[in-house]
Structure 1
Amino acid sequence: MVSVDGYINSIKSNLDKQSDILVESLKKVGTYNFSKNIDLLDFSAFIEPTRFELAIRLFSMDKEANEVFYNGIDNTVFAGSIEVLPEVAYYHLNEIQLNDFFDFYEQNEETLAVQEQKAFTDWFLECWKKADGSSIDIPLYFVFSDDYKSYDLKNNQWIDDGDKWS
């Protein structure tokens, strides 16, 4: 039988195993020569709950919420998007346990959804600090794909997603 604390602690433990990969990737981002047309950077987390996988992709954006691309001849200029973390498992479960787990999740969804996002965000922030991400001069955000809020990495707070575009 799964408990809320057991599930969240398992997520944290599995994410910790991926920290070195994320930290190294974030350090590389800090060395990029960003296009002058980039207004902000979004680190978007993509969660695949039926497979218990997380991936993170960096998108370079303008103030109109459009992805910025670079078509110039300088191959050192970065614009567009790049995978920061390939799909990694954040929870392990065998197929025999799936139905029981999804029943448990449905019964505890309000609590679990909040705690999962907190676990993912706290882990990303810890890796962000280890990678010295604050050295990047562009506004930066951590977001969950298709969510209405963003974590402002410069000001260390959640904001309404629309506020970053104004």
Structure 2
Amino acid sequence: MLTVDNYIESIKDNLEKHSDLIVGKLKNIITYNFFSEIDLLDFTAFIEPANFGISIRMFSMDREANEVFYEGNDSTVFAGSVDIVSDVIYYQLIENSLDDFIDNFYEENYPAIYELEQKAFTGWFSQCWKKSGGDILKLPSFFVFHDDTKSNELKNNQWIDDEEKWL
């Protein structure tokens, strides 16, 4: 029988299978020569609940909440965005159909399950960030969910209102 606890544990187990890939990508990002006009990095998670997928993309941003691009001739300078991971499957239906899962399990356990999912995704990415040595980056770095109103500051693992990071 599907319970909230075994659903969340299954998510954590599925995400863990991709940790080495994420750590490797983050280790590479640490070596980037970031354009001087970049003020912060947003690691944005895009969740696709219909297929239980998560994609993460890093955006280089300024304090005006705009993505920063570099149009100079120095090919060693980075600005813009880069995929960290695409379409990682975080859960696989075994016993139920998608409609049954949504109508009977997810709806009955919402919003608690939504918060636990976000905690699982954030905890996983934060662990990968620490393992990769991400704390050495001088740029403030955040893990965010696309179209959400809060951000997780990765160095101190604290949630802030999204507007605070632009100050």
- SS of aligned partner of 2:97: helix
Match of 2:30 in 1: 30
CA contact (8 A) 1:2 1:101 kept: no
Structure 1 gap segments, 5+ residues each: none
Structure 1 residue 64 and structure 2 residue 64: aligned?
A: yes
Match of 1:155 in 2: 156
Structure 2 gap segments, 5+ residues each: none
**Which runs of 4 or more aligned residues in structure 1 lie more than 3 Å from their structure 2 counterparts after TM superposition?**
none
Q: C-alpha distance in 1, partners of 2:79/2:11? A: 32
How many residues are treated as equivalent by the alignment?
Answer: 166
Deviation at 1:145, TM superposition (A): 0.5
Deviation at 1:95, TM superposition (A): 9.1
1:35-46 alignment runs, 5 A limit: 35-46=35-46
CA contact (8 A) 2:126 2:157 kept: no
Match of 1:87 in 2: 87
Match of 1:144 in 2: 145
Amino acid at match of 1:117: Q
Residues 116-164 of structure 1 deviation map (CA, whole Å, 9 limit, x = unaligned) = 0000000001111110000100111110000000011123210000000
Q: State the TM-score, normalizing by the size of structure 2.
A: 0.96
Q: C-alpha distance in 2, partners of 1:156/1:99? A: 35
- SS of aligned partner of 1:74: coil
Q: C-alpha distance in 2, partners of 1:86/1:151? A: 20
Identity score, percent: 59
Residues 29-76 of structure 1 deviation map (CA, whole Å, 9 limit, x = unaligned) = 100000000000000001001110001000000000000000000011
Q: C-alpha distance in 2, partners of 1:160/1:99? A: 33
Match of 2:111 in 1: 110
RMSD over equivalenced CA pairs, Å? 1.2
Residues 93-113 of structure 1 deviation map (CA, whole Å, 9 limit, x = unaligned) = 259522221121011111100
Amino acid at match of 1:33: N
